[in-house]
Amino acid sequence: MTTRDKPVLVIGGGLAGSEACWQLAQRGVPVTLIEMRPTRKTDAHHTDGFAELVCSNSFRSDDPEGNAVGLLHEEMRRAGSLILTMGDRAKVPAGGALAVDRDEFSGLVTKALTDHPLITIERTEVEALPDPDDWDSVIAATGPLTSAALTQSILDVTGEAQLAFFDAIAPIVHFDSINLERAWFQSRYDKSTDGGDGKDYINCPMDEAQYNAFIDALINGEKTEFKEWEKNTPYFEGCLPIEVMAERGRETLRFGPMKPVGLTDPHSDARPYAVVQLRQDNKLGTLYNIVGFQTKLKYGAQTEVFRSIPGLENAEFARLGGIHRNTFLNSPRLLDPVLRLKARSSIRFAGQVTGVEGYIESAAIGLLAGRFAAEERLGLTPSRPPVTTALGGLLEHITGGAAEETFQPMNVNFGLFPGLPGDETKKTRKRGRDRKAALSARALEELGVWLDGSSRAAAA
């Protein structure tokens, strides 16, 4: 067996692991994918499918000019992403966002990987980082629910003291239990990216008294108690439980997930004081998730508190919210520029465990890890994307752009991009939408050069 024919081991069949497998196999490199489900279940997954979405069904904005995550979508499409290909096939209405039917999406990804002749799938738990003598190329993409045994192995190899924080899940409601005599369909500012009617969200309005009563109920509701060993685990700021946000100030939610801007209640022809939005969760339109309502309230409290929302008085829940432990590395300290573990270069990390936050960001790092490992197998030097791209900016952040001392998970955003020509003076510096459009145009142009160069190198 030549080096090229030796399989790369991918641990974890989430978004990042699935994407990494696809990138390797599409370049002619054999892959062994190990996924512990269903042999070992997690606190958040419900199926044994690959790329199961355990929180929201949204990949967020699909606008490649005005939003950094929309740009990342487009870059990944051009780079041959499995996750974006199947996401586009399984999409459901979501205004300016890309949201998917989560079951169809996972089914499509699972079939693509299962059917690929270069991908071998094993269902078992990996309890320790593999020895280089056994596997000389490994991608660990075990995600936010890395098992305790493997987490301990990572701690032992890296010398780290902690790899965990808490993440939370929002509830899902049956559509036919929503009171549309009180709620209504509308996207903010009637926005839609796919030629829709601008009515992709269900909105539940609150007046000032209702809002204040709701905040009190959130703060006073019975909440999940953590185990003793979990009590020092921090939350990730980008996915706080809604009641934790409420405790930070009475108006926090009204300027966050419950902001009423861009919406008019057709029942009163007025803008509500606050609004709760629900987004379609499956293609049939039978399920809607409550946007931004990740929670650690106990189930009984959730039912009581969320049924106090106008329009959800008789809500039936397909799934209540919950909280689970998340895991990530201090990547600027532990990983080299092409995602290899400095302490053991045979192992790459990919996905949310590297300290990116969000479905698409996790898949993006899986895409890069798969490309890098494939290039090594083909005898090439791994080629990093330009830092002017969303892929490159995200990679740079986790492998050296962020400070080790304060490193926290990060969503892709235009703050990760280098400046534009003309930024030297206020007069010539682009701002707002024009700046984002210019950053995006530069990114896609330089991404094309990078992709062309990688293709020529592989062909040679």
Select from 352, 322, 14 the least CA-distant residue to 169.
322
Q: Does 15 carry a binding-site annotation?
A: yes
Q: Does 14 carry a binding-site annotation?
A: yes
Q: Does 249 carry a binding-site annotation?
A: no
Q: Does 96 carry a binding-site annotation?
A: no
Give the integer Cα–Cα distance in Å for 306 and 344: 48
Q: Does 301 carry a binding-site annotation?
A: no
User: To 10 degrees, what angle do helices 359-377 and 82-89 make?
Assistant: 140
Residues contacting 279, CB < 8 A, separation 6+: 56, 57, 58, 94, 97, 99, 200, 201, 202, 288, 289, 291
Distances 433 to 67, 189, 194 between C-alpha atoms, Å:
9, 16, 20
Q: Which residue has the tokens 């079951």?
A: 103
Give the integer Cα–Cα distance in Å for 143 and 430: 38
Distances 432 to 29, 213, 235, 289 between C-alpha atoms, Å:
43, 37, 31, 31
Q: Does 300 carry a binding-site annotation?
A: no
Give the integer Cα–Cα distance in Å for 309 and 248: 21
First-to-last alpha carbon distance for the chain, in angstroms, is: 21
Feature table: binding site? 12-17
* Feature table: binding site for FAD: 12-17
